[in-house]
Amino acid sequence: MTVEQQLTAGIAALGLTLPEGAKAKLLAYLALLGKWNRVHNLTAVRDAERMVSHHLLDSLAAVPFFQGETVLDVGSGGGLPGIPLAIARPDLQVTLIDSVAKKTAFLLQAKAELVLSNLNVITGRVEDYQPNARFDVIISRAFSDLKEFVTLTRHLLKPTGRWLAMKGLMPHEEIALLPDWVKVSANHALVVPGLEVSRHLIVLEPV
């Protein structure tokens, strides 16, 4: 199976309908990530087929759970899940933030090459970030534990907003340590095509 066939089958298995041209952009993003990864070590996953399941499809599995118009991807790294999200949902304004300049250099290159007008890239620490408006959704895939995630980004979430935390096994210990001003409002077990490990999307809301 080619990488394109794997991606097509995975999108179908997730039940997603993507906009025209989205699959080509996802494949172009994958190629760009692989090219930069040889020099800048953006991800530990180097095999193209594993990148489809571990990165693209894993990110796309969260797409149905986004509400609102603005999204902040914290500790975006190589652009996951923010870039696949921006490609799949052009109606969303997606901001990627990372403190490592070589990573945001890649993100800016991806924004330009893929012509993602709904993507914004910020270099800096999330706790220091002071945008003009707060976000409807703040997501992280590999940023920190839940308590640190909500604490460092509390000033960036709208009062009606939600945090989405992409996790592996159900993080019972992290949930137990959450501050009293936040609650878990939902927990979605994600089934990612080609991924044999447990994946959970934890939805958090301000109390």
| C-alpha count within 13 angstroms, C-beta hemisphere, residue 5 | 2
> What span, in angstroms and rounded, lies between the C-alpha atoms of 200 and 188?
6
Tell whether omega for the bond before 84 is within 30 degrees of 0, i.e. cis: no
DSSP 102: H
Contact 52, 117 (CB under 8 A): no
- Binding-site residues for S-adenosyl-L-methionine sit at 75, 80, 126-127, 141
Find the length of the chain. Answer: 207
Distance CA 34, CA 164 (A): 27
User: Which residue ranges are tagged as binding site?
Assistant: 75, 80, 126-127, 141
- Those residues whose C-beta lies under 8 Å from the C-beta of residue 70, and which sit 6 or more positions away, are 92, 93, 94, 95, 133, 135, 136, 137
Which strands sit side by side in the sheet containing 93-98, from one edge to the other? 119-123, 93-98, 70-74, 135-140, 157-167, 199-206, 182-190
CA distance 26 to 12: 15
Please name the amino acid found at residue 89: R
Q: Give me the residue label for tokens 């991800």.
A: 43
